[in-house]
Structures are given as C-alpha cells and as structure tokens.
Structure 1
C-alpha cells in the first residue's frame, strides 16, 4: 500500500447508517514514549480511519494515567500498567492488543556500583510509581525493599547524583543507563522468566466498559489496525515516533520500538495472557495487591 494512502476499516451497513448521523468521540491517552507513539501512529495521523468515529489523543506519563483511570475513569481508552488493572477493573476491560511485553527483558535495577542480589534488597531504590508493573515485579522479587517514588525520567539523574542507592528504570532508560556510568544489577524480565517461564507483561490498553460491546470492539480493531499499519510502514512510523524518543538516536529508537511493538502487541498469545493473570494472581496472593484480578479482554 502507498504510504500516502489511508485505511477505512470495514464496519456493518447498520453502523454506516448510524455513523452518517452520529460521531463517536473516543478519547485516547497514552505515554509520551516512542513505542506508544509508534503504536498509535496510524490513528494519530488519520492513516487509519473509522467512519463515524473521531479519536482524540492525549499524552501523559503512565503513573498519572493509572491514577486517572482508577480515580476518575477519565479517558475512554487509556494506557495502563497491568499492575493497576485490579484497581480499575470495575470500569475498564483490557483490549486484546496494544500491550508491551518483555521477552526475557524488562525494567532494570541499576546503580553506580555493583551489588549482589542480597545487598540490593537492603538498598533504598527510586521507583517510577507504585502502580507500575515494574514496582509490582520488584516487590515480588524483594517484598522488604525500601522504595521512593520518583518521576520515571528523573530516576537516572537522581541515582547519579547520589540521592538514591539504586533506581528501577523503565522506558528508554533501559537502553541508555550506561551513558551515565550506571551498572545493571538485575533485569526483572530475566528474573521473571527464570521464576515462571513466561514473558513479563508490563503495560496494556484498557477501554471503558460503559462504552458498550460494539464500540469497544470497533475501537479495539482500530487500534490493532493502527499497530499493523505502523509495522507495515516502519520507516514513516519511526520518523513520527522519533519526536517522542527521549535521548535516543534513530538506531536505538528502532531497537526500543522493536522490543515493545511486535507480534505480541497485535496479539498477546496464550502465554502472554497467562502471564498477565499470573503476575496479578501472585501480587494478590502475596498481599501486594488487595483486589483479586478478574482479567477479561475485548477484541
């Protein structure tokens, strides 16, 4: 397909008739990261369109999105950490696409010097938010560890400045921490694989239940088509995503996007869905999450 072309998703004749008189405004919120930008490229640039639907995009950090979904049900579609899902499951269901899954990689504990795993459990660690899946995985690894919440993009500078013994890094920091002289103490994606044999599910997209099944399915299909469009037109989608690639050159941005936007982003797969349920069940069983998760998917 020519890059200048757009895709109009097929919907039913009844929906076309309704769409001619009614516009569904769907509010979408995601993180200001290159992987999320890549994923939503098709919808954000109107390369993917749905008759009768208008998608409005907001970019906000993931911990803020977790809180807004939990406390306000503010957006129709919102990126969330899987850890946050049990807190908002009454009002949102998970979309069956759009997730970030670590295949034997994930959030990392980094520090200015090397520590053993026993030593790191006694450190004071900066974390990007207590509703992030990174935090949940850290607590599964070491329930007793002391943590302090810091904005995710300020963790590396704070650790370098000596404000914390170590930091739990997410997003692009996973590829750039060595520039600041930091050492990897533990990759939690590797640890999780060793413990469970599963990939590490980090974040996904949730959609408001009150929208109803038809709108949920159409919107989820639109997101899946947006992801596929970006994968099919990688160069243009990467160029768009580069404006959100903090401190990454095009080579690293391409690598980062490849880590978190791939076939699993289109479809979690059975083991991916199992991993989502597994990490939330473990969190509940170990007293980290107060609510048992009832995981369901749309689309």
Structure 2
C-alpha cells in the first residue's frame, strides 16, 4: 500500500510510528510538507518529525542510527551503509551548481587552494567535493549559518557555503571563487548529488517501501500544490524573500527529487567511489536504493 493525498482522518488505532529527521531548510520543509501537515497519509502509520542541522544528523545517524528516516549528506552514507539504505527519492541534486567557495577579496581557484577555508562540517558533501577539488586545502569547521558572517568579519579569508547562502552571499559584498557543482559538472558531465534521505534497514523491506512511497507522494503533493507548500516552507527560509525562497526550492526540489534518474544514481556512486579512491573515505561504498 502506498501513501496518497487525503483529507480523511487516518485510522488512529494500531499506528506504527515512523520517526523522520531533516534539516530546518526551506527545501526540506517543502519536500516534507505533505507528510508534516497530514496532507499525505498512510493507513496504519504515524509520522513524527524532528528538525536538526544536517551535520548533526550525519553524526547521529553514524553514532546511533536513531531515526527511522534521516536526511543525510551523501558523504555520510559510507559510514551508515550497514544500518541504512538510500531512499530512491528525496535527494537534493545540483544541476551544474552547488556549494560555493566565497571570499571577501577576489581569489582565483588556484590561489584559494593555499588559503584556509571555513567549512560547514567534515561529513558534508560540500567538504567531500572540496577535497576532491583541492586535496591539500586547509579547512576549519564553522557552523554553516556562521560562515558568511565569519568571512565578513575577517576571521577567515574564504568560506564554503551551502543552503540559501548560495543565493545571498553577494548581498554581503562577498565574491564567488568557484561553484563546486559547476566544477563537478565540467569534470564528470554529471549533476552533483548533495543530500538524500536514508531509511533504517531494520524496518524491513515492506515498511521501507511504504515509507519511501509516502515520501515520494509528499514531494509530489508539494510540487502539485506549490503555493501552499512554499507558504509552509517560508517559515524555514532564513529571511529569504518569497521570490528567492521559490528559486531556492526550485533548485533542490524538482523532478530529480522524485527520482534521481540513471545519471543521478551514477553521480552518487562516482562521487563516493572517487572519495574512496582519493583516500577521503576510508572504505569501499556499496550504494543501494529502496523504492
């Protein structure tokens, strides 16, 4: 049985609770709008949501395998692959765009490799891609929402930005050094897979399929009811204007979010395989999907 959009009350008896964790960002909120507001329901299931910074979710998935469904950076997947599998939907994929290195003064991509860069976490896909681009680069972890202010303050010459900062950095007078999503496209011809949703293998195949179908229905519901979903997502947009929030959501919640496609799946495997080959990821990765 798959989920379907419904306004009928769900059967409250013998409901199985599924815990879902994702980051407090407008694109994730848009994606989970249908489930979070009970527009999409599954008979016999109750979905509870927790919001948390993506690097903390990465760490919790590794250390505890706590949530049934969790948003993760693809870079974190090798460390949780025994306990989680990837859902076939719900990914954030950059189509020739992605995390950026920005700076307060103009640097070339060659010059930036010799400068310490503030990064949003060692398990983020942004960090993995940065290390593929510049293996010897020096980095320091800074909370993602503090990177732009720290660069402006002069505490770092450059920062690796994710989330809405990709659209707002220039408002702060910062300069783009390189877009790693564009670099990855030029290197591989593939989109850059940034984050996805993972589901605990111990739930069993039947439950994993039902929950994955529910997420796909939630994404489709948001795309079909864009105005309402955007209004809901705006509370997580970190002061973005509505038109900018709409643009950001459109970058990372689209047809690719419903299905990675053959090239999207290839991109995930290539990214993680390269990470292993270059010594960034310590062991081989077996990528599999449910749904």
The normalised TM-score by structure 1 is 0.94
Q: 2:153 aligned with 1:156, yes or no? A: no
**Residue 13 of structure 1 aligns with which residue?**
none
Question: Unmatched 5+ residue regions in structure 2?
Answer: none
Which runs of structure 2 are paired with 1:162-241 in the superposition (5 Å)? 162-241=154-233
Q: 2:114 aligned with 1:122, yes or no? A: yes
**Residue 135 of structure 2 aligns with which residue?**
143
2: CA distance, partners of 1:186 / 1:197: 17
For the residue of structure 2 that corresponds to 1:40, the secondary structure is helix
**Residue 106 of structure 1 aligns with which residue?**
98
For the residue of structure 1 that corresponds to 2:185, the secondary structure is helix
Question: Aligned Cα RMSD in Å?
Answer: 1.3
2: CA distance, partners of 1:93 / 1:22: 26
| Equivalent of 1:82 in 59, 74, 87 | 74
The normalised TM-score by structure 2 is 0.96
2: CA distance, partners of 1:23 / 1:246: 34
**Residue 6 of structure 2 aligns with which residue?**
6
2: CA distance, partners of 1:211 / 1:110: 42
Which runs of structure 2 are paired with 1:21-100 in the superposition (5 Å)? 22-100=14-92
Q: Which runs of 4+ in 1 moved over 6 A?
A: none
Aligned length: 286
2: CA distance, partners of 1:182 / 1:37: 28
Question: Unmatched 5+ residue regions in structure 1?
Answer: 9-15
For the residue of structure 1 that corresponds to 2:271, the secondary structure is helix
Q: Post-superposition shift, 1:7? A: 6.1
**Residue 240 of structure 2 aligns with which residue?**
248
For the residue of structure 2 that corresponds to 1:288, the secondary structure is coil
Can you list the C-alpha shifts for 1:4-48, whole angstroms capped at 9, x where unaligned? x7267xxxxxxx9xx886311000000000000000000000000
1: CA distance, partners of 2:86 / 2:210: 14
Can you list the C-alpha shifts for 1:152-203, whole angstroms capped at 9, x where unaligned? 0000000000111100000000000011100000000000000000000000
